[in-house]
Amino acid sequence: MRKRCTPATCLRTAGLSTLRAALALNLVWIGRLKFEDYEVENIRALVTSHPMFAPLFTKLGEQRLARLIGVAEIALGTLIAAKPLAPRASALGSLGAAGMFATTLSFLATTPGVWQENHKAPKLSIVGQFLIKDTVLLGAALVTLADALEDARC
């Protein structure tokens, strides 16, 4: 028997679908940008100052590292989008994305210039503002992870 769609459940379903599609689109699109020279330059300060990425930067070079990150983002976005066909694969993609966003949030502590100096209260710079949005993306990854796990059990 089919459950009746109340306004709240219809909104929840629409919200989850929108969130999943937006998260997947963001990851695929931003991953694709890692193959562009300007994006390689944009992430240079982030990866060279991070203890996990600096050795990779030295070993692989900036272009290969950017492309590796791009491939990972595209793969995670594709897995997240696959939920209607493969909820377990989608859960894996969401878990990976959650880990990725937690890692990028650590850049707030390792990247010079994230905080504006000479202010009484801590104020984010443009770089800090760019990074802080990953808190929302982390939340989206956790919500899509829970949703995919729920479907995988059925």
Rg (CA), the chain: 18
Instruction: Establish how many alpha carbons lie within 13 A of residue 50's alpha carbon, considering only the half-sphere containing its beta carbon.
Output: 16
Find how far residue 90's CA is from the centre of its chain: 14
pTM for this model (two decimals) = 0.90
Between the CA of residue 51 and those of 58, 75, 110, 114, what are the distances in Å? Answer: 11, 24, 8, 16
Spell out the per-residue pLDDT of the chain, length 154, in tens.
566 789 898 999 999 999 999 999 999 999 999 999 999 999 999 999 999 999 999 999 999 999 999 999 999 999 999 999 999 999 999 999 999 999 999 999 999 888 887 776 778 988 899 999 999 999 999 999 999 999 988 7
Note whether 52 and 99 are within 8 A (CB): no
